[in-house]
Structure 1
Amino acid sequence: MPVPAAATPLEQKLDAYIASYMEAMNAPGLTLGLTGADKTLRTAGFGYADVDKRAPVTTDHLFQIGSITKSFVALLLLQLRDEGKLDLRKPVLDYLPGLPIVTEFGPVTVHHLLTHTSGLPDNLTLFAADPSARLIQGFKPGEHFHYCNAGFDILGLLAAKLDGRPWRMLVEERIFKPLAMSRTRGVITTADRARAAVGYQPYWDDQVYPRQGKLAPAPNLVMDDTAGCIQSTPDDMARYIRMLLNGGKGPAGRIVSEEGFGLFTTPYIKAEEFSPTASYGYGIAVDTLDGHRILRHTGGMVAFASSIHVDLDGGAAAFASINAMQGYRPTAVTEYAVKLIRAQREGKPLPAPATIADPMDVDNAADYAGIYTAPDGRTLEFAAKGKGLSLLDGERPIPLQRQGGDAFVSTAASSYAAHAFAFGRKEEAKDPDPKKKLPLIEVSYGPDWFSGAKYEGPKSFHAPAHYGGFTGRYCCDSAWGGSAEVYILKDQLTVDGTPLAPIGGALFRLGEEPWSPMTAEFLHMFEGKARLMRLGGADYWRVEVG
């Protein structure tokens, strides 16, 4: 794998960690930008921008930064506020009355959209193919943090209307040019394909993905959705995060007023999906680590994943992006880079990196071992050997990799590649202790359910008869959608294991939160089967492929 020449002990330590991280996480390439408050400290490329051509990543390659774009949107709107053109507490429908949203739980303000507290669903698109479709709230604005890409699509439209120029022009004039980000693009187009690293995604979209699974080049993407449409280089991103380190000041003056930057970095609501201690500001996560104030965000695209980590008190910041989407972000790289910079500045020993967990190591593997039995008599047998967990398929053990929590996936080509093995634990009657490991009592593999020796509940289940018309595999034409399988687990209708709660007729709420605005709807019933599932606003068509 191509790596840059490391000149200092800090670079040697960081580069060694990045090399091991990329190998462990199966990342084809990585781009890196490090900065202090005064200047860029380093930019570098690792691995391959094009695996087939063995073309190494260079600092000139464009990488898609995904949802880090949201912080750019927020700063633009704060500029417009500074200019007296925007009231953050005003309902967004007052500015954009034609938006396809329904606000029965209360008016959605610009503040609500900036903080992901609008109550609107996280749909793949704001404007659906069905002109009558609307984004419908699930809760009163301000009550919950619910990540909403559609909300930032709305905010981009708002910025363009108030500024009078399309997004690509206003972000270039208001942020890129003042920060000398000359190689950054505000939209993703095929015209920039020659400058961009090739992005990769899992080869099979109808199978669960093990960490070292096969990857394939992703199709070209054209996108101006301001939830995540910026592509950039490490040098330009170092300029951007240096502005954040300096409280909104760039080399030619302030990007946003001091008051505006204060609003940008105010922790408005808890956002634990970024970290257990994180809150959300305006388009940016706000955190405290090691007693320091941190700004952070990640970005996930069809075939790229990115991270920024900005230590406001330590005066150091890092950007990293990989050209693959496998369900994780390179947050560990940016965190470690900033820790190294801080230690060097403070004259302390350079810290050792955190251990990169091997998903094949299952510390409590013996807990999962045993025989589980389906109501029809079929069995699954799991065996533990040290920290390894395997499924015994006849004479052949199939090694399992931890996917997360109590879920595992097969790492071998087998008939068990379509789903994860999801183990279930006994529920505590009241006041469950999150640190207490309750007994494992069951396991499911897609729609197939198996009980263990300690299971004491019912073993026969009866789902509503009409659920059968909704089950099957559905595919989305969008690069974001892929495929999804709807099946019945016990008596619960699910999408790839995520439960669906009935709202009425063929409309269901996605997930277990009673306030979730995410829905699945089954349409076009023909010969007893739904031919279309509208999931998160995207159309998934039934396919009969085996």
Structure 2
Amino acid sequence: MSQVTISEFELTQIKSYVQNLITHNPIPGGTVAIFDTSGVVADFAFGFAELASQTPMKIDHKFEIGSISKTLTSLLVLALADDGLIDIDKPVIDYIPWFDCGKPFAAITARHLMSHTSGLIMGSDHIPDELAQVWSLRDLSRSGDLGERFHYSNVGYMVLGALIQQVSGSTVSDQLRNRVLVPMGIPDARVGVVHADRKVMATGHWPLYDDQTWLEGDPLVAATWFEIACADGNVAADIRELSKLGQLLLSDGQLDGHQVISAKAFNQLVNPVAPTGEDIANWGDHSNVTSSRYGLGVNVETIHENHCVTHGGGMVGYATFLLADLTAGLGVSVLTNGNGDFPAAQLIARVIHNCLLKGFENIPSPDAKVHAAELEDVFFGEFTSTLDCGEEMKIQVRPDDDLVQIICNGEQGYLTRTWSKRFIATNPALRKFHFEWDGENWTYGPHLLSTKKQNFLPPSADQLSLLGHYRCYSPWFTNFRIVYRSGSLFMIASGGVEAPNIDQELVAIGLGIYRIGSDEWMPERLFIGPVIDGKAISVTRDGLAYSRSFTD
């Protein structure tokens, strides 16, 4: 494996790209590092650590690294397995007698939890305490496909935290610090982020308006701050500390003479276990990822035929990414203080990695505008929707030079891309929902916009009672709307760290109970609360209560 070299000219190109990217995205600032097995080769800071005070970002600012902590948690579990304290293929209930998810989930193992194949819900963050969330799993739903499907679960890693505490007799924070971080040479990384740590951290930010799509120029404000110690996302680090983890991944689990985990355990960590893996941020053809499957705490990818491991982190106010190319012996780490549902850190890391492997000639544009050549002819034309109440919506989608123009009620705007398959229109009147293309039609909230006449049954009284806008006080997923479209109910969120990035169908599976998602195996549920004067006044999503909002 060759050592990385990067010229001043190439580094200037990367800095220019990053600076251009944050002008088109809700990212105040961040830090970037390129590393190999010997350490950090180049690093730099960009933008602001705090917008309100215009405080410049510095290389030693710390950030919540979010779910990259899962890689550290898995390292700790495997280290305890090396010590004989945990058998990762033994049922967790054998270690934690009070852990109860019902049959057949009594057979859940640490391997299932580390690989996100346990069938547990993603999580709801309805309770801040880790053990309380694990206890509450007995009252929530789960998939029946233990070990068969990849379904990302934050609460699954909280179970791992409870397991670590049970077998070690001490806290996850103490174990992680002493068993992993100190041997890695980063004792100053924070484990269990508390109020006193704020003075060394960049301030997290999020959009001022959480109930509409974000467009370039929309204001950002400081995100809600809270302490956190759960094993699914409990670490804050600066870019050089995060890069130490990348070095460890490039060096078969050893660093500076310390063997953090055995070669056998490391081999399990970095090879695929789950049948599928995490989605790749959708922003043009930049990543060249041909395979994505989750291992034990890392996403295992094939990029340009190289064996790579990655992990992203999405926190309230922070988005991060780590990429280690085990074949080439190099990696990229990125920390940003923009909200976790805007994965600019992932794009930056993937673009830099691609440049290091293939050259700096074709750095993609960070501009969000969709170009007409990107869409097939079927996307263009006049589309109409008529709701059961008689409300009509008409749009015209057409090429305008090389961009895609959208006209609605005489108002002109343009389509812009997002990180998923959604689009955003710049028309001021079209900010409440995203646009999606279903293969034949455009969708926008309750509207199925088609070139053909559509006929659907009107909503039932139960369905009508649910329509509206709902809010809670959790900063992870603050609000969503429920709409009726083409015969079905959909949950739609404009944004949020834990919010779905597609319109989620709500499927009735019982009296007042809906499955969130069209796939039959999906474990997430929505329970309907009291109905007054024909309107539900509250709903509960996997234990987290939302009430009807006074805004639409």
**Common fold by TM > 0.5:** yes
Q: Do the aligned partners of 1:372 and 1:443 also contact (CA within 8 Å) in 2?
A: no
Correspondent of 2:186 among 176, 181, 184 = 181
TM-score scaled by structure 1?
A: 0.88
Contact 1:189 1:223 in 2 (8 A): yes
Structure 1 residues 234, 278: closer, same or farther in 2, change over 3 A? same
**Which residue number in structure 2 is paired with residue 432 of structure 1?**
none
Question: 2:141: which partner in 1?
Answer: 136
Q: Which residue of 1 aligns with 2:499?
A: none
Residues 191, 41 of structure 1: CA spacing in aligned structure 2 closer, same or farther, 3 A cutoff?
A: same
Inter-partner Cα distance in structure 2 for 1:273 and 1:243: 24
| Aligned twin of 2:346 | 331
d(CA) in 2 for partners of 1:219, 1:365: 41
Match of 1:233 in 2: 238
Moved more, 141-150 or 522-531: 522-531
The CA deviation at 1:303 is 1.3
Write the letter of the residue equivalent to 1:204.
Answer: Y
Give the counterpart of 1:172 among 169, 174, 177.
Answer: 177
3-state SS of 1:101 partner? coil
1:377 shift after superposition: 6.7
Alignment of 1:105-504 (within 5 A): 107-125=107-125, 127=132, 134-269=139-274, 270-274=276-280, 275-325=289-339, 326-341=341-356, 350=360, 352-356=362-366, 358-363=368-373, 364=375, 367-374=379-386, 376=390, 378-384=392-398, 385-403=400-418, 407-412=422-427, 414-425=428-439, 440=440, 442-452=441-451, 455=452, 458-496=454-492, 497-504=503-510
1:539 aligns with 2:545: yes
Between the aligned partners of 2:413 and 2:117, the Cα distance in structure 1 is 44
Task: Give yes or no for contact 1:102–1:134 (8 Å, CA) kept in 2.
Answer: no
Q: Decide whether aligned partners of structure 1 residues 133 and 110 sit closer, same or farther in structure 2, where only a CA change above 3 A counts.
A: closer
8 Å CA contact retained: 2:32, 2:332? yes
Q: 1:362 to 1:342 in 2, by over 3 A?
A: closer
Once residues 54 and 421 of structure 2 are traced to their aligned partners in structure 1, the CA distance between those partners, rounded to angstroms, is 38
Quick one: distance in 1 between partners of 2:334 and 2:206? 18
Displacement of 1:340 after TM fit? Answer: 4.6
Bigger CA drift: 291-300 or 351-360? 351-360
Shift of 1:265: 1.3
Distance 1:132 1:240 in 2: 31
Query: Are the aligned partners of 1:44 and 1:234 in contact in 2 as well (CA < 8 Å)?
Result: no
Q: Distance in 2 between matches of 1:82 and 1:227?
A: 21
| Cα deviation code 1:449-479 (max 9, x no counterpart) | 4432xx26x4242333212222221111111
Bigger mean CA offset, 20-29 vs 40-49: 20-29
Query: Where does residue 495 of structure 2 map in the other structure?
Result: none
Instruction: Pick closer, same or farther for the CA change 1:491–1:322 going to 2, 3 Å.
Output: same
Q: Distance in 1 between matches of 2:409 and 2:22?
A: 35
Give 1:133 shift.
Answer: 5.9
- Give a deviation string over 1:205-230, Cα, whole Å, max 9, x none: 11122355332210112111211121
1:405/1:118 CA distance change after superposition, 3 Å = closer
Return the alpha-carbon distance in structure 2 between the equivalents of residues 334 and 53 of structure 1.
28
Q: Matches of 2:404 and 2:351 in 1, distance apart?
A: 30
Match of 1:508 among 496, 503, 514: 514
1:73 aligns with 2:73: yes
Letter of the 1:226 partner, please give it. Answer: A
Code of the residue aligned with 1:356 in structure 2: it is P
Counterpart of 1:40 in structure 2 is 40
Aligned residue number for residue 428 of structure 1: none
The letter for the 1-side match of 2:434 is: A
Q: 3-state SS of the aligned residue for 1:415?
A: helix
Write the distance in 1 (CA, Å) between the matches of 2:507 and 2:290.
Answer: 28
- 1:405–1:96 Cα change, 3 Å: closer
Equivalent AA in structure 2 for residue 358 of structure 1: A
Query: 2:285 — aligned with what?
Result: none
What is the CA–CA distance in structure 1 between the aligned matches of 2:519 and 2:456, rounded to whole Å?
Answer: 26
Matched-pair contact (CA < 8 Å) for 1:501–1:510:
yes
Quote how far apart the aligned CAs of 1:319 are: 0.6
Contact 1:422 1:443 in 2 (8 A): yes
- The answer (yes or no) to whether the contact 2:318–2:338 under 8 Å persists in 1 is yes
Aligned with residue 529 of structure 1, among 526, 531, 535: 535
Encode CA deviations 1:48-77: one digit per residue, 9 max, x unaligned.
111121111111211111111100010000
Give the deviation of 1:312 after TM superposition.
1.1
Helix, strand or coil at the partner of 2:291: coil
Letter in 2 for 1:19: Q
- Unaligned stretches of 5+ in structure 1? 1-5, 344-348, 426-439
Change in Cα spacing, 1:276 to 1:493, as seen in structure 2 (3 Å) is farther
Kept in 1, the 8 Å contact 2:369–2:403? The answer is no
Shift in alpha-carbon separation, 1:109–1:9, aligned structure 2, 3 A? same
Q: Is the 8 A contact 1:362 1:402 kept in 2?
A: no
- Match for 1:397: what amino acid? Q
Q: 1:451 to 1:395 in 2, by over 3 A?
A: closer
* TM-score normalised by L of structure 2: 0.87
In structure 2, distance between residues paired with 1:180 and 1:197: 22
Aligned partner of residue 308 in structure 1, secondary structure: strand
Q: CA deviation at 1:46?
A: 0.7
Distance 1:408 1:148 in 2: 27
Task: Go from structure 1 to structure 2 and tell me whether the alpha carbon gap of 1:504 and 1:462 turns closer, same or farther (over 3 Å shift).
Answer: same
How far the C-alpha of 1:129 sits from its partner, in A, is 12
Q: Please state whether the residue corresponding to 2:157 is helix, strand or coil.
A: helix
Distance 1:355 1:216 in 2: 26
Is 1:29 the equivalent of 2:36? no
Q: Summarize the Cα distance change of 1:200–1:75 in structure 2 as closer, same or farther, 3 Å threshold.
A: same
Runs of 5+ consecutive residues of structure 2 not aligned to the other structure: 1-5, 281-288, 493-502
Percent sequence identity is 22
CA contact (8 A) 1:471 1:485 kept: yes
Distance 1:73 1:128, change over 3 A: closer
Query: Displacement, 1:136?
Result: 2.6
Secondary structure at the counterpart of residue 264 of structure 2:
helix
Which piece of structure 1 moves more, 310-319 or 459-468?
459-468
> Could you tell me whether the CA contact under 8 Å between 1:300 and 1:329 is conserved in 2?
no
- The offset of 1:373, in angstroms, is 4.0
Match in the other structure for 1:437: none
